[in-house]
Amino acid sequence: MIRTLMLALALALAPLAVSAQQGAPAEKRAVATFAGGCFWCMEPPFDKLPGVISTTSGYIGGKTVNPTYRQVVAGDTGHAEAVQVVYDPAKITYEKLLEVFWRNVDPHDAGGQFCDRGDSYRTGIFVHDETQLRLAQESKKRVEAKLKKPVVTEIVLAPKFYPAEDYHQDYYLKNPVRYKFYRQNCGRDDRLREVWGAEAGN
């Protein structure tokens, strides 16, 4: 009897719920993908930005389908560690995301990032359309002019992105002590300050 009454109530309320959803403005979504060395360290700078909906650590740019972390860091897949950012373009621009990206990487290092060496830790901007391509190329020129040194960061069309294993997602939140220990000992913040001064990301 109780189950019957609950079902009847649910059916009665369903049109109201649909009406409320239809009346609410739809959240716009766009995607940006960046490789900046260890993906653990690339989630926090974007997560704290108003307008960013989510960040996902993963792998991109290689030939191996559904790669594992072990395969990627071994260096045989061609993939780079990356973070995919889902954002609301009505609240934050792609240009702002580019600005945050640059100030959280060493754009002069072709061999990796900070203490993490190898191709899987290379920097890259993986663009999803022609507008992102143009804006990324323009931003790269501005960075080279500002730092007065060639930038080695690649800008390429985004191939398939493979989310990393669950234990990598939000690592800085799940394991704050280990994350801070790793980040400090990797020399990331020291090098960012050397490159960017007061504008360095964190």
In this predicted model, what pLDDT tens digit does every residue of 167-192 receive, in sequence order? 999 999 999 999 999 999 999 999 99
Q: Are 122 and 154 in contact (CB under 8 A)?
A: yes
In the structure, what pLDDT confidence band is assigned to residue 114 with cuts at 50, 70 and 90? very high
* pLDDT at residue 21, rounded to an integer: 45
- What residue type is assigned to position 159 of the chain? P
Q: Encoding tokens for residue 154?
A: 């690649």
Residue whose entry in the numeric block shows the structure tokens 């993906």: 39
Domain locations along the chain? 27-197
Distances (CA, A) of 168 to 43, 44, 61, 140, 181: 10, 13, 19, 29, 16
Q: Which of 108, 30, 47, 41 is nearest to 81 (CA)?
A: 41
The DSSP H or E segment spanning 66 is none
Q: What is the pLDDT of residues 37-86, one digit of tens each?
A: 999 999 999 999 999 999 999 999 999 999 999 999 999 999 999 999 99
* pLDDT at residue 14, rounded to an integer: 45
Q: Is the pLDDT of residue 26 over 80?
A: no
Whether 186 is catalytic is no
In the structure, what pLDDT confidence band is assigned to residue 7 with cuts at 50, 70 and 90? very low
* pLDDT at residue 28, rounded to an integer: 87
- Could you say which of 38, 41, 115, 186 is catalytic? 38
Q: Considering the chain, what percentage of its residues have pLDDT values greater than 70? A: 87
Instruction: Write the class of the CATH domain 27-197.
Output: alpha beta
* pLDDT at residue 73, rounded to an integer: 94
